[in-house]
A = this chain, B = another copy of it.
Amino acid sequence: MEHTIKAIDTELAGLGHDVSAMGDLAVAQVRASVDVFTAHDLTAAAKVVRGDDALDLQDAEIEKRAVRFIALRQPVADDLRRTIAAMKIAMQLERCGDLAKNIGKRVGRMTKPAAAAQADPIGDLGRLVTERLAAVVEAYRTDDAQGAYDVWLKDTDIDERHEVTLREIVSCMASDPESVGDCTHLLFIAKNLERIGDHATNIAELVHYQITGHELADRPKL
């Protein structure tokens, strides 16, 4: 029995370690996607696109590992909650990776670098979102309910900054019809960043729940 309990702890720690490592990679991918956008670096953009495969693999691995763990060790209560959370957080990180990849693709399709009036607010939004995702990955790694709660609480300022960015892009489209194609990419790049922010908030809820057993009040809205 003692032996089984120790095995469970070791395996659960291993699963948590995998999720943290996947989180670090997701943060790196999101950060890189923001950087390639602001630098309009097409070579680096292609690298971000290719880099997403690793996240897909890690997600699949974590799920397999979690399911095997449930089947063999039949964890209950806290341990089960942590196992399910690991799977769900991996899914959220995988989605962040998809969104970063899509940003990389869109940078590659733009005909020229974005003007400062649009590029600056998008860059700001991107750095804010990256910071939040990094904070929640850290909260997961260090089992920090308060850190997760802080990320969750600050969701609205991402939404506000996204709204400001959107208005800037739309007004540019209206004043310069030729820019509409590129600006459409900008709209979706901004939207992708906002959605990464939503995923960070979702992860914050999962982290908070797995530590405290209490759900945070409202689900973040789309």
Contacts and interface: CB of A to CB of B under 8 A. Distances in A.
A155 interface: no
A77 interface: yes
A124 to B, nearest CB: 20
Contacts of A177: 173-175, 177
A178 B76 CA distance: 59
Contact of A166 (B84, B171, B184): B184
A184 B181 contact: no
Interface of A is mostly: helix
A222 B101 contact: yes
A71 B173 CA distance: 54
B187 A180 contact: no
Contacts of A81: 67
Interface string A62-95: 0100010011001011001100100110010000
A175 to B, nearest CB: 7
Interface residues of A, number: 35
A57 to B, nearest CB: 11
Contact of A98 (B56, B70, B98, B222): B222
Contact of A222 (B70, B99, B178): B99
Contacts of A221: 98
A175 B187 CA distance: 18
Contact of A173 (B84, B180, B188, B219): B180
Contacts of A77: 71
Contacts of A180: 170-171, 173-174
Given A170-B180, A174-B180, A222-B102, A76 B84 contact: no
Interface of A: 56, 63, 67, 70-71, 74, 76-77, 80-81, 84, 87-88, 91, 98-99, 101-102, 166, 170-171, 173-175, 177-178, 180-181, 184, 187-188, 191, 219, 221-222
3 A-B pairs closest in CB distance: A174-B180, A98-B222, A74-B74
